[in-house]
Amino acid sequence: MFKIAVLASGRGTNLQAIIDKIKDGYINASIEIVIGSKEGIYALERAKKNNIKTSVVSKKEFGKETSNEILKLVENVDLIVLAGYLSILEGEILNKFKNRIINIHPSLIPAFCGDKMYGEYVHKAVIEKGVKYSGCTVHFVNEEVDGGAIILQDIVNVDFNDTYETLQKKVLVKEHIALPKAIKLISEDKIQIVENKVSIKEEVCI
């Protein structure tokens, strides 16, 4: 069976979306471990409620060795999924898991991405700029922050009266569909990367 590890830093709603899609048979995979960036986050509780192994790798504790500590825990999985994980992976893990780490970002990359663009800061920037559309992007992870090949994107309207909170809720709905879909495509070997662009061999129904 296709094995994944999920890294999270917060409430874990994207983790829950993955768990639900595995349970209903949409994704034929198992979550081998959920790694939290700190103690006390609700993502870890979600994992425990579903009998999934958990661990905490805190940057405060491990510093520059954080990515190496994570690598020790995930060496036997097929895919690493960053589901609201706020730290930057670096070093050997990027080499060993080249094209086997994916991330969900709450904007339409290349807009509103890169250094210091995460979580509510993305949505606040979108609102302040007054753009008419935003959305989410699932992409592969490489050495460049938010620079890996784009797998899937989905769009939401940004209404004049939207706040960053209301926009965040709209984007989350799309995230909860896109991230499991990307995992399904990868697990079924339907993704090909050519010159940092993703070709999907066969579209799947949501």
Rounded to the nearest integer, the mean pLDDT of the chain is: 95
What is 64-78 written as a DSSP string? Answer: GGHHHHHHHHHTT-S
Over residues 24-47, the pLDDT tens digits come to 999 999 999 999 999 999 999 999
- Rg (alpha carbons) of the chain, rounded to whole number: 16
Buried b (16+ CB within 10 A) or exposed e, 82-94: bbbbebebeeebb
- Residue-range domains of the chain with CATH: 2-200 (3.40.50.170)
Give the pLDDT score at 205. Answer: 52
Over residues 78-128, the pLDDT tens digits come to 999 999 998 899 999 999 999 999 999 999 999 999 988 999 999 999 999
Catalytic (active site) residue 176: no
What is the pTM assigned to this prediction?
A: 0.94
Q: Please give the average per-residue pLDDT across 52-62, as a whole number.
A: 95
Q: Is the pLDDT of residue 202 over 90?
A: no
Cβ contact 84:46 at 8 Å: no
Binding residues: 12-14, 64, 103
Instruction: For residue 88, give the 3-state DSSP assignment.
Output: coil
What separation in angstroms does the CA of 121 have from each of 93, 164, 191?
27, 9, 30
> Which residue among the candidates 105, 123, 139, 176 is catalytic per the annotation?
105
Q: Side-chain half-sphere of 13: how many Cα atoms within 13 Å?
A: 11
Q: Is the pLDDT of residue 143 over 70?
A: yes
**What is the token pair recorded at 57?**
């790798």
User: Do the bridges between strand 133-140 and strand 101-105 make them parallel or antiparallel, or are there none, so unpaired?
Assistant: antiparallel
What percent of the chain lies above the pLDDT cut of 70?
98
